[in-house]
Amino acid sequence: MTLICSGTMVLGRQLCRPGWVQTSGARIVDCGPGSPPRPADVDLPDAVVVPGFVDIHVHGGGGASYTNDTEIARAAQFHRRHGTTTTLASLLSASVDDLLRSVRSLAQVTRAGIVAGIHLEGPWLSAARCGAHDPTQLRDPSPTEIDALLDAGDGAIRMVTLAPERAGGFEAITRLADAGVVVAVGHTDASYQQTQHAVSLGTTVGTHLFNAMAPLHHREPGPALALLQDPRVTVELIADSVHVHPAVLRAAIDTAGPDRVALVTDATPAAGQGDGAFRLGNLDVDVTSGVARVRGTSTIAGSTATMDQLFATVAGLAADPDAGLVAAATMTSATPARALGLPDVGSLRAGRRADLVVLDRNLAVSAVMAGGEWLGDI
């Protein structure tokens, strides 16, 4: 057993100074506020310990992509070093054959525990709001294609983003939800009413809120307001100060609350690689000053962010630093885990997987534990 004590620790919705957690193998067996019941094996008086981050929307990182079989583990490891101990591998719109190949590969990786499952971001998206998706690969959902992908995933497909206004979109929501898949609305030109109907059919997530969807208008509210208003919906936000203005980010969090906001990176292979030229699916992408855009356009192409950066950004939004830490931990761990129905992660409590992040006083990652194992020295 390992007993870890930290000067500051987030346990559930409680900020503890100090706090402690005891692990045995891959599990947390006990935890609590105050001084530990015995001398700590690992004493971190100047650190902030939070649950391992859960990123439900990420395409790659560290120069590696989730669409390349030889790079999947490297992409997951890159984000793990930044505190993301649970990763959902996101796939861009592609041909049926390419998607089936990627899904089969990622299903194997899911069974091996390298990623927590697959997120299909497309191909059933709006051409008008395609963002960095190849418009030639967008199409209406069909029962045949949905069933083929679900069969190939063998339970590994955990979330699907689609545009409900496409022909067959509402039927697809029902089919996917009945199969136990989390359905998200995104890359959509749906109206306010269409989005409300999508939620009534079983949609429970809004993909990167505000981005790649019809903007809010005082006479046509669009999908963003419908998603924000409904207590059944968890909204993704990319808090990198590029995708969403800080004032809008703050307003969205104030409206939905941390229990309904999942921070996501939407990171691409360019994350951690600096400026330069990259590929995202079939598209050329240029990164300048850390911002990725489709070559020759102003279209943002995913992000270069990592979850530790998003944690620090959101923690700094709160007037009360203590409340900011708890809210940031909720939005980077508990909320995304709950949105996907992942019972073993998202919080430091007895019975959960021993996933945690050690942050220094500047909220930079100094150590990561995943499944009870330290990644590097502590």
Catalytic annotation present for 266: yes
Return the pLDDT at 283.
84
Q: Are residues 190 and 312 in the same domain?
A: yes
Rounded to 5 degrees, what angle do the CA atoms 52, 58, 64 make? Answer: 105
Q: Where does 202-266 have alpha helices with state H?
A: 222-229, 246-256
Tell me which residue range forms the domain holding 363.
2-50+346-375
Q: Are residues 292 and 153 in the same domain?
A: yes
Q: Are residues 44 and 119 in the same domain?
A: no
Return the pLDDT at 97.
96
Q: Are residues 175 and 304 in the same domain?
A: yes
Extract long-range pairs of 250-257: CB within 8 Å, 24+ residues apart.
250/317, 252/209, 252/210, 252/228, 253/314, 253/317, 253/327, 253/331, 255/228, 255/229, 256/228
Residues in the annotated binding site: 121, 132, 187, 208, 211-212, 219, 243, 300-302
Q: Are residues 76 and 194 in the same domain?
A: yes
10-residue stretch averages of pLDDT, the chain, 378 residues long: 96 95 97 94 97 98 93 96 97 96 96 97 96 94 98 98 98 98 98 98 98 92 96 97 94 96 96 92 89 90 95 94 96 98 96 97 96 87
Return the pLDDT at 247.
94
Q: Are residues 108 and 171 in the same domain?
A: yes
Q: How far apart are CA 20 and CA 32, in angstroms?
A: 6
For position 40, which CATH number holds? 2.30.40.10
For position 211, which CATH number holds? 3.20.20.140
Residues in the annotated binding site for substrate: 132, 211-212, 219, 243, 300-302
Return the pLDDT at 314.
96
Return the pLDDT at 377.
73
Q: Supply φ then ψ for residue 336, to 5 degrees.
A: -65, -35
C-alpha closest to that of 187 among 118, 141, 219, 142: 141
Q: Are residues 233 and 351 in the same domain?
A: no
Q: Are residues 107 and 204 in the same domain?
A: yes
**Coil, strand, or helix at residue 210?**
coil
Q: Which residues pair with 134 in a beta bridge?
A: none
Q: Are residues 206 and 246 in the same domain?
A: yes
Q: Are residues 312 and 351 in the same domain?
A: no
Return the pLDDT at 116.
97
C-alpha closest to that of 125 among 263, 340, 281: 281
Q: Are residues 243 and 355 in the same domain?
A: no
Return the pLDDT at 4.
97
Among 55, 189, 240, 266, the one annotated catalytic: 266
Q: Are residues 27 and 119 in the same domain?
A: no
Residues in the annotated binding site for Zn(2+): 121, 187, 208
Work out how many domains the chain is built from and give that number: 2
